[in-house]
Chains A and B, each alone.
Chain A
Amino acid sequence: MSVISLSVHGIVKHFPGVTALKGVDFDVRAGEVHALCGENGAGKSTLMHILAGVYKQDEGKIFLNGKEISISNQKHANDLGIAIVYQDRSLVDGMNVAENIMAARQPTKRLSIIDKKRLYKETSEILSRLKIDIDPRSMVGTLSPAMQQMVEIAKALSVKPNVLILDEPTATISEKEVGALFNLIDMLKKEGMAIIYISHRLAEIFKIADRVTVFKDGKYVETADTMRVNSDWLVSRMVGRELMFSRIKDRKISDEVVLECKNLTGERFTDVNFKLKKGEIISLAGLVGAGRTEICRAVFGVDRIISGDVFVQGKKVQIKSVADAIDNGIGYLPEDRKEQGLFLEMSIEKNIISASIKKFIRGLGMNERKMLDVSEDFKRKLNIVTPSVLQKVVNLSGGNQQKVVIAKWLLVAPDIILVDEPTRGIDVGAKAEIYTLLRELANKGKSVIIVSSELPEVLSLSDRIYVIYSGKVLAEIDGSEATEEMIIKYASGINN
């Protein structure tokens, strides 16, 4: 067995209100691909950010080639020989491949004049060594996502690291293109590089990784050789969080279909079919980037529908704009409430009425009395914790902000409500209240579509679950039969 290249012991990292890492251990050997798995919030990315010098750990030690190190910043991590390819792109579109790979380290002649010859020669050497067939002069913006990913990796490798961290490298590229990436990883491995590989796609892990370690809720769970275990083992180690709320038990749901999508195709999803019945809550489950949000946005008229039909109350409708969607009784609570759902600097009252202003116009002004009454009513019903509805929304907690968004849409009173990540960044108490609210809505005959990455949430709320993988509906599961294992398997692209 080869030597341990990098190891961490007892790493603890606190963030305000949450402990992301509770004393984890991890190591990677030279010439090995070591995969790190876990659900959202397991602490994988936090650990990688510590290794890359973005965060500093609160407790614990890091050893590189047996020597204890302290990583002070990004550049220091590079100097030590640790390079990371982030999930988010770090390339500049308007520049060519060589300029991106060498960035601020371009070779120069006298007077800091860039030595173009050497720039392209050195870049070509890096690219050809990695067997990446890209012209160093081509603009990054014109490359496919997969090629851009390769450029990212080449950029990371240009600092000649010993340890390479890949954070979800396949999240934005198609399955066909994954092959080229794996060949590259294989080659680096043979050259003795220590590679840490983070991915939600479990099938990939068995293809590429030598060992796999599972984190859960900021704690180390287990490490195993991928040869000796299978995906069931992996899934069983990843899941097992307790359901916070009891499941919906066999609710009586009418057969009346209020929304149906047939062969819906958009930029990021193809041939999506689903039905939503009156009084039903369905979930679109799947990994981040699978196309769930995009489906919602298309149904709500934000993104273009390329082909396929949408039926509302059995009638075929054309949804070309948000106004069309609202006219058809569809409401949308966006994923990012701060960016897309709220006017942070405005009062709670003004936010609540913002999608129904017409109802409050009186003469040339607004009916202030009515606005106040309606807002106070919602404040009471939804238990929005604030001294006054005239408070700015920015001063509220995440949970209360989310309730304001919900109030806004309850006032519009759509029959169909799309909810994207309803409880992201919200504390447990507020989560419970929002779950209760969504259930009450369903009981009153409204229909709800939830997009969520939190499996316990999906399981406790849904009557039915559609699992989305790479822009396609891979499975439809009855809410009462679904398990975390089933959803994770489908969401990772493992069929049957």
Chain B
Amino acid sequence: MNIASDRRFNLRSFLATRRSLALLVLIVGFFIVFSLLFPSTFGTYDNFSLILLNMSAEAPVLMAMAIILISGEIDLSLGAQMVLGGILCGRFMNVSGFSPLLSIIIVLLISLLTGFINGVIISKLKVTAFITTLSTGMIFLGIAVMLAGTGWTNFPLDFTAMGQAKLLGIQMPVFYMLIVVFIMSFLMAKSRFFRQYYYIGGNTKAANLSGIDIDKMKIISFVIAGFLATLAGIITAARYNVTLPNIGTGVELRAVTAAVIGGVSFTGGKGNVQDAALGAVFISCLNNVLAVLKVNQNYQFCITGIVLILAIVLDIKITKKAE
């Protein structure tokens, strides 16, 4: 049997196997259509860079969620860890008087611990990830609010420059996003270590029989996720020159939405992180167009919801037929 011999173009198998390309075509098509319709508002360089900027701060959280979903788990504490990261960083700079660099390093070290707590509870104590991270999320957020009160602002200029400086007219967080997405997609595609998450998410029993240390891998995935979420918190703080306890509200579920639209399976083992990022680009475009059209925010929610359902239904139909 030779699968490659069938060279006729098949839309279904194209959509099922070349997800990245299909998404890219969709996004580019979207850009072209709306740029032609609204050349002065949508189709501008500034607007394009805004679309990317709007998704950039949360991009590390998306990467974290994508890895966790691929390994067959979920992490609902990412938003709380993001908030905790931002607030701790602000507190270290404003109250303790640490330099921005030292603050960032300490906060990132703490993030390794919060992720580790999640991982150990899930893999060693066998509590489901949903419940574990729901609980630790409340704990992390509670601690963050206690430490922050109403929030921190007026950060050192060195710090805010990291989030507000521009290169080629594009704000820095966009570049951080590109770097994080590039590193994570490289690792998830090429590294033997990270590839193991696909085996675990695809068939845990088979992964175990193949000699993969599942507990260890799970702990590491939650540590990485915590690290990335905290990074997002720091970038957000630098970009807005403020950290508020509500900055992370709903970010986990926005990440799930983007990942699933990008083809990451909610039950694990399928999809990849760069497609999840493309999913986020698509949502960001959609929201931008709706904003340009001055559509009420509530309609935006409804439309995102419809797109999510459509994406999943199409996914089920297409993969089923392609097989």
Contact = CB atoms under 8 A, between A and B. Distances in A.
A134 B190 contact: no
Contacts of A133: 1
Contact of B206 (A90, A111, A142): A90
Given A95-B202, A134-B1, A113 B190 contact: yes
Nearest to B213: A104
A134 B269 CA distance: 22
A183 interface: no
Contacts of B195: 99, 106, 114
Interface residues of B, number: 25
A94 B204 CA distance: 13
A103 B212 contact: yes
A104 B2 contact: no
Nearest to B271: A94
A90 B209 contact: yes
Contact of A104 (B190, B203, B212): B212
A104 B206 contact: no
Contacts of A141: 323
A74 interface: yes
A72 interface: no
A496 interface: no
A112 interface: yes
Nearest to A88: B205
A92 B270 contact: no
Interface string A368-381: 00000000000000
A94 B202 contact: yes
Contacts of A111: 191
Interface string B205-228: 111011110000000000000000
Contact of A142 (B198, B203, B211, B323): B323
Contacts of B209: 74, 86, 90
Nearest to B17: A139
Given A95-B199, A103-B211, A114-B195, A90 B190 contact: no
A106 B2 CA distance: 24
A91 B207 CA distance: 8
Contact of B192 (A74, A91, A95, A106): A106
Given A108-B192, A113-B192, A92 B3 contact: no
A135 B5 CA distance: 11
Contact of A112 (B3, B191, B205, B270): B191
Nearest to A113: B190
B193 interface: yes
A134 B1 CA distance: 7
Contacts of B3: 135, 138, 142
Contacts of B205: 88, 90
A335 B120 CA distance: 36
A104 B196 contact: yes
Contacts of B199: 92, 95, 103-104
- In the A-B complex, the 10 residue pairs with the smallest Cβ-Cβ separation, listed nearest first, are A92-B202, A103-B210, A90-B206, A92-B203, A94-B269, A94-B270, A90-B209, A94-B202, A112-B192, A104-B211
27 contacts: A74-B209, A74-B211, A75-B211, A86-B209, A88-B205, A90-B205, A90-B209, A91-B206, A92-B198, A92-B199, A92-B269, A93-B202, A93-B203, A93-B269, A94-B265, A94-B269, A95-B269, A99-B198, A103-B212, A112-B191, A113-B190, A113-B192, A114-B192, A134-B1, A135-B3, A135-B4, A142-B3
